[in-house]
Amino acid sequence: MLMLALSGMRTRWITFVGSFVALALGVGLIAATGLALAATFDAPERGPERFAAAPVVVRAADHLRVDTPTGTRTKPLDHPGPVGPRTVDRLAALGRTVEDRTFPADVTAAPTGPDAKAARSGADAKQRRTGPDVTAALTGPDAKAARIGADAKQPRTGPDVTAARSGADAKQPRTGPGTTAARTGADAGKSRPGQDAEARVGHPWPVAAAAPYRLTSGRAPAAPGEVVVTIRPGGAPLRTGDRVLVRTPAGNGPRIVVGTVAGRGFEDAVFFTDDEAARISPDIDALVVHADATAVRRALGPDSGMDVLTGHDRRRADPDPDRDARALVSVNALLGTAAGITLFVSAAVVASTFSFAVAQRRREFGLLRTAGATPGQIRRTVCAEAVLVGVLASAAGVWLGAGGAPLLVGRMTGAGLAPPWFALGDASWPLHTAFWTGVFVATAGALVSCHRAGRTAPTEALREAAVDSRVMPASRWAAAVLVLLAGLGLPALALAVDPGDLLGRKSYITRPMLLVVGFALLAPVLVRPVGRLLTWLPARLPGATGVLVRENTAAGVRRTAAVAAPVLITVALAATLTGTVATLEEARAAESRTATTADFVVTSGQEGRPMAPAFVERARAVAGAVVSVSRSTAVTVLEEDTALVTSEARAVDPARLAAVSELPVTAGRLSDLDDGAIVVNEEWLTTRVGDRVTVWLGDGRKASLRIAAVLATGTGDNGVYVTRRNAGGAGVDRIDVKVAEGADRRAVAAALQSAGAATGTRVTTRAEWLAATGPGTNDQTRTGLRMILGIALLCTATALANTLVMATSDRVRDLAVLRLAGATAPQVLRLVVAEAVVAVGVGAVLGGVVAAVNLLVVWGALVLLGVMSAVVVPWGTLGLVVAAAALLAAVSAVLPASLALRTRPVELAGARE
């Protein structure tokens, strides 16, 4: 059998070249994505950064720990508390202590000339001078700056991190790695041309030694108006002696740079005197203790709520210590999806190719049966051919994948899909997995074909007609029906039980595959009616081409189905993935348009940063404005005594919330929200108004709150609402402003813009905010989808070209008969092109039906979740995919036909297979 298989492969090499290329390409893609995926399982090991030279670091516990019947459960806290004064006094007796405070400190070059006097405004008008170059302390309410946690609240800057931007500020220009501009209106005139506020983080100078930072020029700050700044390549060109404007939660003010230190990569810092840092941010975020760790733990006691960090654990006090692991989550999901789709497409393509190859060889198998071959021998021959192709193609694919993995990683980091430091590891198991996967796919793809080949009767050797018959055996009918029932039944069950589950990425990526397989199995039955529909008009036009295309499509069912199958897969995936993402984006935008009725929306501009208190006070004082101030926080609930589930929440003023929003309330009233109540959504286990739920707030406090109202689930953005008292120490990060009835909208807008210019806060209208947060803003998601679709299209192109070359090469006698009947060579080529395009059209129609079903499922889920939004059909993407497939099909059909037409028709007509 092995020698027979080798002989058959040598004779019909065209049949196996396409399978070899398609499988090698699929294995190569699986190997490349597997190697990259293996690198996402472990984030790079980083040591302590901010406190690398500190012996002991004490800070409030940053994880919630809850004992359950099945063990202790933990969750990160959204707002860890400060280190209390009593704790500081107790530890001071053990040794020297250094207090750390962390707060925003954005730096702008100081203006010169007439603009210099405009630099001091807003909160700075309340400052008192203590010297020619210093900024005095604020008094009154402005002295109480919003606290930012040591790690969760620091701005993430430096070469390894890209600062997150949201809301209207997503449109702001950047001025360097890790920096975000924050200029509007008059604020733009306070900077030098081309230079914006550079996002930095402030600390007291004594804690600099814990990193350690070392002065590279100048001296340490000794007066309130003096600062030391970090310098890094590509950052602002600050030097000792420069005058700068520094914006902190306590207000804006000029400072003089008295020293510089080399940046360490994890933050861009501004160091103040200890007293000035305490004035700007009164809370202590961390405490460096120069004492024995055991003595520190003994002094604090077991229930102090403080973490004592030593050794590698000191990294937990770094800014955003989990940023590396979090950055790899989306990379892991993207690569896993790409590998899964590659495997699916490769398996479908190989199975389709082998099925068509066996159908082409039915006369050959009939001759073998006539010569005495048994059905088992025929099956073993076909299976041996598949194994040989699988082994050779898998080996080639592994070689391609090993060389392509670095290119894939480089492409992902360049496109922003992976962090800049992401690199391949030394894992080899993905190569072994890809190899054996390829062999298995080739063998499994040929199993059905092997069975059909073994059933070939000896009389097949006598067949001369090219009309396909018995294309749908009972086993294929049963498999198609079962797969379609699963593909339709599972979404129907989810719609009845949990519609929100259908909106998850895993669901809308894997769900189409069942329908694709079902339609592919039914393709031989569907080809004739769909083909006749597409050729109805051409068949009625003058000339014989339309009639021949219609009849050849109906007669060559297997050929048409083999060409349509890869197109079906690509069109279904392209339409479903891009259409679902676009539909969900439009649904979220519709929710925002409905829920937000404010005239102006102000956001903090950077993730984890609160708004300047000075702007909040000035906004509240604007005449004719209804101001709703809110804070981003979180609440955690223990579900079924086994799992801690954290929900995003907003702390609001219930009296003002109704004036600027129309939330989708399904039960209860928002006006009943108070300090002892909570508003939940329908995803919660407890959703009956009046019932009490036990939650843990953002700072870890435990509270029993009454359910005041329940919101529709929607797309998942309808979160939880609490009051300011239950905000867990969160600062204001969003303000919604509604112009009161009868008030002057222009006056309100001018007052808000003036307050924003004075504090570096961006004020946007409702339309601007909706545009910035609307569909199409997530470029990374779209880039990832394009990468996945590109992989599927590459596999499809290979299969399409291979199938058409096989089919056209096998029809040389049919083409010769047409020539002998009087058709010219151009007419024959036009016929071949038309048949190929119709086959692509059949696949596109079937793929469109699959996509339509999936998009209707998504739309139904949205309706059941209370979101009325239109289905977004990606016509542009579909047009490009179908056009590319049609062009490739035409070229793949014309080339072998042109070569065949070079031979005299009489010779071809008299040739035997």
Phi, then psi, of 424 in degrees rounded to 5: -70, 150
Closest of 237, 143, 149 to residue 194, by C-alpha? 237
In this structure, the strands spanning 763-765 and 600-603 are antiparallel
Alpha-carbon distance values, 162 to 46, 137, 149, 318, 903 (Å): 18, 33, 19, 16, 63
Q: How many helices (H) and strands (E) does the chain have?
A: 23, 24
Contact 287, 57 (CB under 8 A): yes
Q: Is 776 left (phi over 0), alpha (psi -120 to 50) or beta?
A: left
Does 514 score more than 50 pLDDT?
A: yes
Report d(CA 700, CA 642) in Å as an integer.
Answer: 18
Tens digits of per-residue pLDDT, 711-736? Answer: 988 887 777 999 999 998 888 989 99
Report d(CA 836, CA 894) in Å as an integer.
Answer: 9
Tens digits of per-residue pLDDT, 414-441? Answer: 877 888 888 888 888 999 999 998 888 8
pLDDT at residue 142, rounded to an integer: 35
Report d(CA 511, CA 191) in Å as an integer.
Answer: 53
Virtual torsion, Cα 888, 890, 893, 899, nearest 10 deg: -110
Report d(CA 612, CA 632) in Å as an integer.
Answer: 15
Does 910 score more than 70 pLDDT?
A: no
> Tokens 């047409």 appear where?
818
Residues 501, 507, 511: CA angle, nearest 5 degrees: 130
Contact 281, 89 (CB under 8 A): no
The one-letter amino acid at 877: T
Average pLDDT, the chain: 80
Tens digits of per-residue pLDDT, 863-876? Answer: 888 888 889 998 98
pLDDT at residue 97, rounded to an integer: 94
In this structure, the strands spanning 201-204 and 269-272 are parallel
Tens digits of per-residue pLDDT, 568-588? Answer: 988 998 899 889 988 988 888
pLDDT at residue 775, rounded to an integer: 66
pLDDT at residue 471, rounded to an integer: 59
Tens digits of per-residue pLDDT, 647-693? Answer: 999 999 998 988 898 898 999 999 999 999 999 998 898 889 999 99
Closest of 874, 853, 861 to residue 504, by C-alpha? 861
Beta strand ranges found along 643-794 (DSSP E): 643-652, 665-668, 677-681, 692-696, 702-711, 720-723, 732-739, 763-765
pLDDT band at 695 (very low <50, low <70, confident <90, very high): very high
pLDDT band at 196 (very low <50, low <70, confident <90, very high): low
**What percent of the chain has a predicted confidence (pLDDT) above 90?**
30
* Helix H or strand E segment including 756: helix 745-759
Report d(CA 613, CA 615) in Å as an integer.
Answer: 5
pLDDT at residue 463, rounded to an integer: 54
Tens digits of per-residue pLDDT, 258-277? Answer: 999 998 888 899 999 999 99
Token code pair at residue 425:
């590891």
Contact 715, 566 (CB under 8 A): no
> Tokens 């390409």 appear where?
25
Phi, then psi, of 83 in degrees rounded to 5: -85, 120
pLDDT band at 771 (very low <50, low <70, confident <90, very high): confident
pLDDT at residue 186, rounded to an integer: 32
Tens digits of per-residue pLDDT, 444-461? Answer: 767 766 666 666 666 554
pLDDT at residue 783, rounded to an integer: 74
Q: Which long-range contacts (CB under 8 A, 24 or more apart) does 472-478 make?
A: 472/522, 472/524, 472/525, 476/521, 476/524
Report d(CA 634, CA 720) in Å as an integer.
Answer: 8
Report helix, strand or coil for 202.
strand
Cis omega before residue 177 (within 30°)?
no
In this structure, the strands spanning 643-652 and 720-723 are parallel
Closest of 429, 368, 425, 434 to residue 398, by C-alpha? 434
Does 176 score more than 50 pLDDT?
A: no
Report d(CA 536, CA 550) in Å as an integer.
Answer: 8
pLDDT at residue 399, rounded to an integer: 94
- Residue 208, burial from CB neighbour count under 10 angstroms (0-12, 13-18, 19+): buried
Virtual torsion, Cα 449, 455, 460, 466, nearest 10 deg: -40
Closest of 413, 432, 431 to residue 423, by C-alpha? 413
Alpha helix positions (H), 415-502: 429-454, 474-497
Token code pair at residue 232:
């890094």
pLDDT at residue 154, rounded to an integer: 36
More confident residue, 40 or 472: 40
- Of 371-385, 486-500, 690-704, 772-786, the range with the highest mean pLDDT is 690-704
Spell out the residues 6+ positions from residue 329 whose beta carbon is closer than 8 angstroms to its own.
Answer: none
More confident residue, 142 or 525: 525
Token code pair at residue 329:
């989550």
Report d(CA 181, CA 303) in Å as an integer.
Answer: 43
Tens digits of per-residue pLDDT, 276-287? Answer: 999 999 999 999
Report d(CA 627, CA 759) in Å as an integer.
Answer: 17
Spell out the residues 6+ positions from residue 492 whose beta carbon is closer than 8 angstroms to its own.
Answer: none
Contact 419, 160 (CB under 8 A): yes
pLDDT band at 168 (very low <50, low <70, confident <90, very high): very low
Spell out the residues 6+ positions from residue 271 whose beta carbon is closer than 8 angstroms to its own.
Answer: 202, 203, 204, 205, 208, 213, 220, 221, 227, 228, 229, 261
Contact 660, 736 (CB under 8 A): yes
More confident residue, 467 or 474: 474
Contact 702, 692 (CB under 8 A): no
Token code pair at residue 805:
């070359």
Does 144 score more than 70 pLDDT?
A: no
Token code pair at residue 215:
């002065």
Q: Is 171 left (phi over 0), alpha (psi -120 to 50) or beta?
A: alpha
Tens digits of per-residue pLDDT, 736-756? Answer: 999 998 889 999 999 999 888
pLDDT at residue 166, rounded to an integer: 33
Tens digits of per-residue pLDDT, 280-317? Answer: 999 999 999 999 999 999 999 888 889 999 998 999 88
Q: Is 470 left (phi over 0), alpha (psi -120 to 50) or beta?
A: left
User: Does the global pTM surpass 0.85?
Assistant: no
Report d(CA 523, CA 521) in Å as an integer.
Answer: 6
Report d(CA 672, CA 704) in Å as an integer.
Answer: 16
Does 224 score more than 60 pLDDT?
A: yes
Neighbours of 353 (CB within 10 A): 30
> Tokens 């005239």 appear where?
599
- Residue 842, burial from CB neighbour count under 10 angstroms (0-12, 13-18, 19+): buried
DSSP for 333-361 reads HHHHHHHHHHHHHHHHHHHHHHHHHHHHT
Report helix, strand or coil for 865.
coil
Phi, then psi, of 596 in degrees rounded to 5: -100, 115
Tens digits of per-residue pLDDT, 56-94? Answer: 999 999 888 898 888 888 888 888 889 999 999 999 999
More confident residue, 239 or 809: 239
pLDDT band at 183 (very low <50, low <70, confident <90, very high): very low
Alpha-carbon distance values, 187 to 197, 248, 314 (Å): 10, 15, 39
Does 467 score more than 60 pLDDT?
A: no
Phi, then psi, of 99 in degrees rounded to 5: -90, 135
pLDDT at residue 228, rounded to an integer: 96
The one-letter amino acid at 61: A
pLDDT band at 255 (very low <50, low <70, confident <90, very high): very high
The average pLDDT across 203-216 equals 94
Report d(CA 435, CA 30) in Å as an integer.
Answer: 9
Does 365 score more than 90 pLDDT?
A: no
CA-only gyration radius of the chain, Å:
34
Report d(CA 419, CA 164) in Å as an integer.
Answer: 13
Report d(CA 261, CA 203) in Å as an integer.
Answer: 13
In this structure, the strands spanning 720-723 and 692-696 are unpaired
Tens digits of per-residue pLDDT, 519-566? Answer: 988 888 898 899 999 999 888 888 788 888 888 887 778 778 888 888
pLDDT at residue 18, rounded to an integer: 67
Tens digits of per-residue pLDDT, 39-48? Answer: 888 777 778 9
Does 133 score more than 80 pLDDT?
A: no
Closest of 408, 428, 426 to residue 417, by C-alpha? 408
Report helix, strand or coil for 58.
strand
Report d(CA 747, CA 561) in Å as an integer.
Answer: 67
pLDDT at residue 140, rounded to an integer: 34
In this structure, the strands spanning 226-231 and 251-262 are parallel
pLDDT at residue 497, rounded to an integer: 86
